[in-house]
Structures are given as C-alpha cells and as structure tokens.
Structure 1
Amino acid sequence: MTLQELQTQVQQTRRDILRMVHAVNSGHPGGSLGCAEFLTALYGNVMTHSTDFSMDGKNEDLFFLSNGHISPVFYSVLARSGYFPVEELNTFRKLNTRLQGHPTTHEGLPGVRIASGSLGQGLSVAIGAALAKKLNNDDKLVYTLHGDGELQEGQVWEALMFAAGKNVDNIIATVDYNGRQIDGDTDHVLPLGDLKAKFEAFGWVVLDEPKGNDLEAILAVLAQAKSLTGQGKPVAILLHTEMGNGVDFMMGTHAWHGKAPSDDQLASALEQNPVTELGDY
C-alpha cells in the first residue's frame, strides 16, 4: 500500500473503532485508536501474510495481539485487509458474534491465532511460534504487540529472559508505550523505570521510536527491526503512542481506556475523522 492508502485506512479504522464501541456502549477505544497506525502499517506494508487463513501460518509472518482488549483496532484492520467481511464489524460484542470483546479462537475468526485478554501471555505464545518456525526451517518472522501496563505482569519478564537465553532471533515485540493504563498513568500505578535499559539487560536489541503515531516513522522502525533479526538476539520496539490518538477529547488522559462515547461525543469524534472512500461498514 502507498503511504496515502495507509493514511486513508488509518482514518477509516478510527471510524470503525469509534462506531463499534459506541454501538454496544462497551469496549476499549483509547488504546485501539493509539495503535491504528501501527497495525495498519504492519498488515498493509510490512508482514508477509495471507487471507487464506490457516492456524499454522507456514511461510507467513505471524502476529500475536497480547493486549487483547484493543480488539476493535485488530478487527478493523483484519476486516479491511480482507480476512472477513467488513460488514461483520456490525456484530462487535453482540450475542453469538465471532467478534468478542477480547479475541478468541473457538469462533474460528480468520486472523486470530490465540485468545488474548488475560494480560502477559502473548509473548510466551509468540516465542513458541517463533521456535516452531525455526524447527520447520521457516524463515518468516513473528510479531507481537503489548501494552506498557501489561509489562507489570511477571510472565512477560520470564518470556523476555527465555527468548534471549534461547537466541529466539526471529521475533519482533512491540510495546504500545503510551504511559497510561486503566487506573491512570503507568508512572503512578507501577513505574516501569528505564524500560529500554531493562529490555537490554534481559538480552534484547531495543529500538526506541518517539513518533509512534507517524506512519513513516513506524515503517522505518519496523524495517530497521527486521534488519536486526537473525543475529542471535530477539528485537523489541518501544513505540511511543498517544492513547485516543485522532480524537481530541480522548487524548492526554487514561479516561478512555475502556469507556464508550455518548451520541454527541461520537458525532464530534467522527467529525474529526471524516468518512473515506473505503466507506463505513
């Protein structure tokens, strides 16, 4: 996809997120909006992947969403990438839907390889997939996304230690480093300290990208991360994003971590993100 096409999809994905969450008065718009550029770039330009979906994903790059509560952005990007009909976004969080509040596998939704929502588990699963690719002589990569608040889970650090200790160098783990979580700023809830130094102390190569909502910066840092794989160390990206990005009243606060907009708030948010040629679902 061209940069303009990516920008158009990001704008339409923002609309998808807002409309999905508003329709059922439930969901997580803040982190979803903050990761719209990253996931759009990943699926639109970076990963080698197929909409002819299989759980094995042989000879494909794989993506694992660890912070599963930002499912609205994941579902929008999957649908807009052709994994399932865009109209199915209408069923988000409704009875008997495949689009649960947190992604699950038993509904058979194309693009979803693990159930995620219990934070801290995604990296462990992804490392297993990365090791399987090595055993299968599959040279494709495994990508993951994690919330910064999620890093307060101990299992993440066990997985970080394992990946470096076993030279899992075909994985790129990205942290959505927005500084906010459900109860407030991460610095107030449980400070992460010098996150780059901590990852490096655990044996990872770390890239720090301050422009986590800039498509060109995201594409550049992902290309750099890919160039560093295969050298004996796992790779991490600290992606500094803005929770609620693209909607002025949702930015600069943790309040929209898990809250739906009212009718008037939805109208304001959609006015800031006009419908594109891709069209609403």
Structure 2
Amino acid sequence: MKKWTMTVVAVALAFALSACGQTAEPKENPITGEKEEVVVKSDLTAADVMKKASAAVEAQQSMHSEMVMKQTMEMDGETHEIHSTIDMDMILEPLAMRQTMIMKMDGEDMAIEQFMTVDGFFMKDPQSGQWMKFPGDMYEQITGQIADSQSTAVDFTMYEQFADDFKFEQTNDEYILSLKGSGEKFTTLLKDIMEQNMPAGMDESELDTVSQIDVESLAIEFTIDKKTFFTKNFDIDMVMTIDEEGQKVKIDQNIIGTMSKINEIDEINVPKEVIDNAADMSEMMGR
C-alpha cells in the first residue's frame, strides 16, 4: 500500500516541479461550477506541498487502508467484470499485515484473508476455509521486495511534459492534485510507473507485456491533508488496451483508496486459533 502511495506522490511531485510558481486555487464544485470559500488560503506552491507530502510518506510507519477496484475487461467479444474491495492494516517495521480482500468476478464471490507477521505468512483458503501457513522464506521475500521498492530513486524529469495538464486546488483542510489526459505521452507515463514498481524477479515476458500497453485515457486525483501532509485518498481512472500475441484486451479500471490511522497502529497479531489450526505448507511441499 505504501509503495503505491509513494508512486502517486512521486508522480504529482514531478508535475509540481514543472509548475513551481503555481499556488492552489479554491476547489471548484463539479456540479455547480462555483468555487468553495477558503477562509485561510495557503500560499504554498505545488512544489512546496508535494515535497512536504513526500517527506510525510517517508515518515509513515503504519496505516489502515481501504480500496475499491472496479475493472471491466473486453476480450474476444466477451466482457468480464471484476469488483474487489480490500481492507488492510499494515506496519512497515518489522513488516506486518492483516488483509481481507473480497473479489466478485462474473457474479462469483471469493474472499481471501491473510496475516503476515514475524510469526509467519498465513492465508485462508477461500474454498475450504482452511488456514494455511506458507514457508518462512515467503515472508522474507515479500519483506525484501518492499524494502527494495522504498530505496528505488524516481526520475522526476520524465514528467516535465505534463506541466500544462496539472491542476492544483485547495479547500480549508486539504490540497487536491489532479491530472487528466490521453494519448502516447500518458502511455509512456503509465509504463514508466509500472516498470519502476514491478516486483523483484519479474521475467522478461512479463515486462514485455507492459510494453504492449496503450492508454486511451488516464485520470488521477488525490488529496493531501493541509496540517499533516499525509495523503488521505486517491481516485484513479484508466482505460487501456494490451496487445498480447496479436490479441487485444481492453481494460477499464477505477481504483479508489482511502488511508487512515496513519502511525496509530502499534501491532498486528495473528489470532491464536489461526496459528494453532493452520496447515503447514512447508511440510506438504516437502521443504
């Protein structure tokens, strides 16, 4: 979760660097077109706000997040709909996570529950309801991937071309940054973001899939708290096509995320009944 938040913040920071003198306008009501009254207006520029937001992200050690993803895929004349909700608590050091994901695909529901702490990586089988404990090296591998993602430098220069597309607004309590566009330059943006955030060990064929993406439209909006500079929520809409081995797949996707309880979660514990009753996958896999 933090990795994705940092990616969004990095994108916005890059845009801000291209519009250093721009201060936030009062937010416009999307229905009436009228601008909201801002009692205490901030004179910070977009660059100022995003630098502070990036520093705030680095200071985040725990958080609660809720995400809703709606995705429609069109392929070979067929349409598939996927609706997912994710409820998650996370602590970064040492890495601990509790996650519940409910996925509905083509009318079928599937719920996945997970715990990942120093006690191990546990997942509940959605079919049988049996808890499973996976090999210890999976915890180490995931921990390493998250650590690697935090140390990856972002090349902000590749976003300079988006200065004219960047919008910066404010309310009494929040800053709102948004971007809308389409065409090849946004395809390049999405590819760069995805390639920078690929999990470690991804092979060339999977990376090649990214190169086959074309973005028809992309819209990003996220909100930053004026006092703490923590990112509170984001809303991402994208329509893209992927050409894989001559077959075109069109994906229409919307992701809404909300972050709360930042630095308020002190511990995540795996319930005793889960530890006691989980099937040991290491033994079953002969490891």
- Give the structure-2-normalised TM-score: 0.25
- Structure with larger Rg: 2
Higher fraction of helix: 1
Pick 1 or 2: higher relative contact order, CA cutoff 8 A, min separation 6: 1
